[in-house]
């Protein structure tokens, strides 16, 4: 559905010289510097997939989204979404997509939400029946009915985002671009929006590209992640695979009835040489090991056989930790 | 044939129905600001009065200069019609476009499935329709009441008609000038200086500040030929019946020519500017 090949965007920025003398010199001759915001990115996203597009601030996420939505003109490379070039075939392309920029609004600030929706109905020529049906469906999932008569400027951030999503989806687009849709929202609103996205992805088979800094969004919604850093693609593949490859350590924590004796610990270490066992507090024992080295079940079974275990908890490497590792350069070769 | 025309319109993003939606929307939004509207009407009354008394003072100090052309009644009528016309076609799309570029809000306009200049045109048309009914006509009524014997009616129904045709063309010229000024923001990001320059040029060259009769004789024919003449001079003279017959048609034809040229320039400038857009603020 979305095909991107060697996509590049170069911005020319001008470096200011320092001080008064420098500022005067800037008046006459400027020094320009080229900034490669997006640098030769390629990927392919099939129909109906939700892909997470992540990277640090300034990595080039938003620039990519703006090229995909036909707002920015790519310096080089090509984009084909549903077979159309977003920039050149803009008019035919735009009815096929929905866009939400978390920090902006596409609703009309001084009009009631309902007015904005009916304007969108006219702009996209949505038949009355479809319009009613979709609005009703979005109300069921997002509960927007309560503030349809409120002017947009009086909505809370969470209410506004629900309306933005509705606005982006009223014309039943085939592709939905979400640039930080959960930014600044409270947990309740975030959960509602994630549920909504899952629902519409399932019901309408809409293809979604999502950028976010909230990795919980990614974990909940995306099986596929694309990570970019300084304009370049550093990872493209399954979220699970990413977690597995970077691993991080799995940590099992056991609360024991009796404190383990040193010889028992020694025996454990001999049985599982790949794991580290720590006995920081007398009644707790933690086992840490790389996830691919051992099966959790094995360790747990051994522990249950040897000790009286009262409680057990385990921590998987968080996606945050994994992504931090990627940013730090932990992933050498990009997979695909 | 009809289908091909529809396809062309769709490809260019010039759908009349979409345009109508934006025009209606712009009309509705203006209705929601009552105070701004009342202040606007009061301001136009002040513009006319200030210009009228200034000009009368100038002429009384030097009566022989242009007295026969500009009696007090001529002056009141001139400024009243001129400013009522301005109240009708005025919009601030240039400043708004610059704001949208500076804040990055332009991104949200660019995801609409219609050509950006067409959206702006439709919005400006909606705004002007609002302004005709809720500003120009009330302003004119207030002026007529205050300056009763001086403010003259149109020279005739035909003259009024031609004046209105000229006003419709003036709307297009003003729209194009504003859009072109606003597009400078795509290159420079800030255009406050350009906005002032444009404002002063329009004030001076349209004749709403000073009637062309005040200018040196050699300058007058050139002023009348500039596109800015459509924004004051031409519609007022048509209303007053000072521009008739062949001269009237020539003036209107010239306005129509400028309109076509400037609108074409807008389309060209937009297609160029589009490639250079950057969106500030993420």
> Looking at chain A from residue 63 to 102, which residues have their Cβ under 8 Å from any Cβ of chain B?
66, 69-73, 90-92, 94-95, 97, 99, 101
Segment A210-223 shows an average pLDDT of 87
Whether A332 has a pLDDT exceeding 60, the answer reads no
Would the CB atoms of B21 and A123 count as touching at under 8 Å?
A: yes
Closest among B238, B118, B242 to B167, alpha carbons compared: B238
| Across A34-48, B214-228, B268-282, least confident range | B268-282
The two three-digit tokens of residue B49, written as one number: 């009065």
- pLDDT at position A175, please? 96
Residues of chain B positioned with their CB less than 8 A from the CB of A70 = 110-111
- Looking at per-residue confidence, does B41 or B269 come out higher? B269
Residue A207, pLDDT > 60, answer: yes
Whole-structure pTM over 0.90, yes or no?
no
Q: Is A70 left (phi over 0), alpha (psi -120 to 50) or beta?
A: left
User: Which 3-state string (H, E, C) describes chain A?
Assistant: CEEEEEEEEEEEEEECCCHHHHHHHHHHCCEEEEEEEEEEEEEEECCCCEEEEECCCCCCHHHHHHHHCCCCCCCEEEEEECCECCCCCHHHHHHHEEEEECCCCCCCCCCEHHHHHHHHHHHHCCCHHHHHHHHHHHHHHHCCHHHCCCEHHHCCHHHHHHHHHHHHHCCCCCEEEEECCCCCCCHHHHHHHHHHHHHHHHHHCCEEEEECCCHHHHHHHCCEEEEEECCEEEEEEEHHHHHHHHCCEEEEEEEECCCCCHHHHHHHHHHCCCCEEECCCCCEEEEEEECCCCCHHHHHHHHHHHCCEEEEEEECCCHHHHHHHHHCCCCCCCCC
Quick one: pLDDT band at residue B130, thresholds 50, 70, 90?
A: very high
- Taking only the tens place, the pLDDT of each residue in B67-124 is 556 788 888 999 999 999 999 999 999 999 999 998 889 999 999 988 999 999 999 9
The model's confidence at residue A333, banded by pLDDT at 50, 70 and 90, is very low
The whole-number pLDDT of residue A41 equals 95
User: Pick from A109, A99, A122: which is nearest to A150 by CA?
Assistant: A109
Which of the four pLDDT bands, split at 50, 70 and 90, describes residue B189? confident
Q: Which of A11, A66, A94 sits opposite B113 (nearest CB)?
A: A94
Beta-bridged to residue A225, according to DSSP, are A52, A237
Q: Report the residue of chain B nearest A111, measured CA to CA.
A: B29
If one counts every other C-beta atom within 10 angstroms of the C-beta of residue A131, the result is 18
- Are A111 and B108 a contacting pair at CB < 8 A? no
Tens-digit pLDDT profile for residues A152-190: 989 998 899 999 999 999 999 999 999 999 888 888 889
Nearest to A71 among B28, B114, B279 (CB): B279
Domain boundaries, chain B: 15-281
Position A226 pLDDT exceeds 50: yes
pLDDT of amino acid A322: 72
The predicted structure's pLDDT at residue A329 = 63
State residue A334's pLDDT score.
42
How large is the average pLDDT for residues B18-31?
87
Whether the pLDDT of residue A336 is over 60: the answer is no
What kind and span of H or E run contains B30? helix B16-31
Distance CA B194, CA B182 (A): 9
In this predicted structure, what is the pLDDT of residue A239? 83
DSSP B136: I
Q: How far is A170 from chain B (nearest CA, A)?
A: 13
Q: What integer pLDDT is reported at residue A274 of this predicted model?
A: 84
Q: Which of A11, A105, A119 sits opposite B25 (nearest CB)?
A: A119
> Model confidence over B214-253: pLDDT tens digits?
888 899 999 999 999 999 999 999 999 999 999 999 999 9
Mean pLDDT, rounded, for A91-118: 91
Q: Is A14 on the interface with B (CB under 8 A)?
A: no
Paired strand residues for A101: A179
| Reported confidence tier of residue B1, pLDDT bands at 50, 70, 90 | low
Complex ipTM tops 0.85: no
Nearest CB partner across the interface for B107, out of A101, A108, A115? A101
Mean pLDDT computed over A238-261: 81
| pLDDT above 50 (res A335) | no
A32 touches chain B (CB under 8 A): no
Q: Closest chain A residue to B22 measured between Cα atoms?
A: A119
Q: Evaluate whether A208 touches A197 at the Cβ level (below 8 Å).
A: yes
């Amino acid at each position: 559905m979305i095909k991107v090949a060697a996509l590049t965007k170069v911005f020319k920025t001008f470096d200011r010289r320092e001080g008064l003398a420098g500022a005067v010199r800037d008046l006459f001759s400027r020094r320009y510097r080229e900034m490669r915001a997006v640098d030769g990115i390629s990927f392919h996203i099939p129909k109906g997939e939700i892909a997470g597009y992540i990277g640090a601030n300034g990595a080039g996420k938003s620039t990519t989204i703006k090229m995909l939505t036909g707002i920015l003109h790519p310096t080089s490379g090509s984009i084909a979404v549903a077979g159309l070039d977003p920039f050149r075939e803009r008019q035919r392309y735009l009815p096929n997509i929905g866009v939400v920029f978390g920090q902006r609004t596409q609703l009309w600030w001084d009009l009631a939400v309902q007015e904005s929706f009916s304007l969108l109905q006219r702009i996209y020529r949505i038949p009355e029946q479809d319009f009613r049906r979709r609005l009703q469906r979005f109300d069921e999932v997002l509960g927007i009915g309560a503030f349809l008569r409120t002017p947009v400027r009086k909505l809370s951030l969470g209410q506004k985002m629900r309306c933005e999503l509705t606005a982006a989806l009223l014309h039943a687009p085939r592709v939905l671009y979400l640039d930080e849709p959960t930014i600044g929202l409270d947990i309740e609103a975030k959960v509602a929006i994630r549920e909504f996205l899952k629902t519409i992805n399932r019901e309408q088979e809409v293809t979604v590209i999502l950028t976010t800094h909230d990795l919980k969004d990614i974990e909940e919604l995306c099986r596929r992640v694309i990570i970019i850093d300084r304009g370049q693609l550093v990872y493209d593949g399954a979220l699970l695979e990413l977690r597995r490859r970077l691993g991080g350590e799995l940590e099992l924590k056991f609360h024991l009835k009796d404190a383990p004796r040193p010889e028992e610990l020694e025996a454990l270490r001999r049985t599982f040489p790949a794991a580290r066992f720590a006995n920081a507090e007398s009644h707790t024992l933690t086992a840490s090991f790389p996830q691919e080295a051992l099966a959790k079940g094995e360790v747990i079974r051994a522990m249950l056989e040897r000790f009286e275990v009262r409680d057990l908890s385990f921590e998987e490497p968080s996606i945050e930790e994994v992504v931090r590792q990627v940013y730090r350069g932990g992933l050498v070769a990009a997979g695909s | 044939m009809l289908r091909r025309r529809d396809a062309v319109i769709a490809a260019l993003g010039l759908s009349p129905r979409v345009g109508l939606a934006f025009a209606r929307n712009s009309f509705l939004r203006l209705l929601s600001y009552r105070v701004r509207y009342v202040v606007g009407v009061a301001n136009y009354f002040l513009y006319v009065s200030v210009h009228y008394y200034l000009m009368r003072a100038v002429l009384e100090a030097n009566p022989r200069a242009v007295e026969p052309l500009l009696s007090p009644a001529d002056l009141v009528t001139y400024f009243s019609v001129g400013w009522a016309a301005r109240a009708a076609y005025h919009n601030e799309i240039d400043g708004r476009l610059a704001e949208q570029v500076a804040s990055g809000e332009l991104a949200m306009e660019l995801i609409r499935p219609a050509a950006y200049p067409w959206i702006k045109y439709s919005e400006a048309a909606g705004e002007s329709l609002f302004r005709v009914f809720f500003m120009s006509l009330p302003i004119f009524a207030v002026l007529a009441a205050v300056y009763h014997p001086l403010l003259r009616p149109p020279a005739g129904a035909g003259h009024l008609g031609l004046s209105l045709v000229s006003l419709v063309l003036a709307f297009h010229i003003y729209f194009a000038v504003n859009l072109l000024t606003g597009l400078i923001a795509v290159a420079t990001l800030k255009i406050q200086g350009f906005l002032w320059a444009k404002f002063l040029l329009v004030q001076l060259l349209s004749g709403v500040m000073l009637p062309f009769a005040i200018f040196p004789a050699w300058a007058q024919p050139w002023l009348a030929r500039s596109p800015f003449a459509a924004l004051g001079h031409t519609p007022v003279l048509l209303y007053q019946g000072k521009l008739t017959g062949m001269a009237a048609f020539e003036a209107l034809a010239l306005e129509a020519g400028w309109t076509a040229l400037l609108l074409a320039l807008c389309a060209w400038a937009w297609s160029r500017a589009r490639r250079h857009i950057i969106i500030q603020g993420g």
